[in-house]
Amino acid sequence: MSMKQYRADFPIFAHRHYINSCSYGALARQVEAAYGDYLACRRTKGADWPGWCAIHEDVRARFARLVGADADEVAVTTSASAGMSSLASALDVSGPRPVIVTTDQAFPTEAQIWHALAPRGAQVRHVREQGGQLDLEHMRELVDERTVLVAVPLVCYRHGALNDIAAIAQIAHDAGALVLVDGFQGLGAVPFDVRETGVDFLAGGALKYLLGSAGIGYFYARKSLIEGLYPAQTGWFAQADIHAMNIHANEPSPTARRFEQGTPSVPALYAAQAGLDYVLDVGVDQIHTHVQALNRALKDGVRALGGTLASPEEDARHGPMVAIRSTDDHALVAALEKDNIITSCRDGNLRVSAHLYNDMSDIEALLAALHEHRGLLA
pLDDT tens by residue, 284-306: 999 999 999 999 999 999 999 99
Measured CA to CA, the distance from residue 346 to residue 330 in angstroms comes to 9
Measured CA angle at 203 (ends 260, 292), to 5 deg: 150
Please check whether residue 26 lies inside any domain of the structure.
no
Nearest to 83 by CA among 113, 119, 126: 113
Please check whether residue 238 lies inside any domain of the structure.
yes
State the residue range of the domain holding 11.
Answer: 3-19+283-373
- In a shared domain, residues 266 and 233: yes
Query: Which CATH number characterizes residue 352's domain?
Result: 3.90.1150.10
Q: What residues pair up with 201 in beta bridges, in sequence order?
A: 180, 221
Nearest to 196 by CA among 230, 233, 164: 164
Query: 279, 308, 339 — which closes off a domain?
Result: 279
Residue 148 sits at φ, ψ, to 5 deg, of -95, -30
Average pLDDT of the segment spanning 97-103 = 98
Please check whether residue 24 lies inside any domain of the structure.
no
Assign 1 a pLDDT band (cuts: 50, 70, 90).
low
Residue 74 sits at φ, ψ, to 5 deg, of -120, 130
Q: What residues pair up with 100 in beta bridges, in sequence order?
A: 124, 149
Q: What residues pair up with 129 in beta bridges, in sequence order?
A: 134
Cβ atoms 188, 21 nearer than 8 A: no
Measured CA angle at 148 (ends 175, 251), to 5 deg: 135
Query: Does 2 score more than 90 pLDDT?
Result: no
Q: What residues pair up with 153 in beta bridges, in sequence order?
A: 182
Q: What is the DSSP string of 62-129?
A: HHHHHHT--GGGEEEES-HHHHHHHHHHH---SSS--EEEEETT--HHHHHHHHTTGGGT-EEEEEPE
Residue 18 sits at φ, ψ, to 5 deg, of -100, 110
pLDDT tens by residue, 33-86: 999 999 999 999 999 999 999 999 999 999 999 999 999 999 999 999 999 999
Query: 230, 252, 279 — which closes off a domain?
Result: 279
pLDDT of 89: 98
pLDDT tens by residue, 208-232: 999 999 999 999 999 999 999 999 9
Question: Residue 18: in which H helix or E strand, if any?
Answer: strand 17-18
Please check whether residue 13 lies inside any domain of the structure.
yes
With pLDDT > 70 as the criterion, what percentage of the chain qualifies? 100
Number of domains the chain is built from: 2
Please check whether residue 25 lies inside any domain of the structure.
no
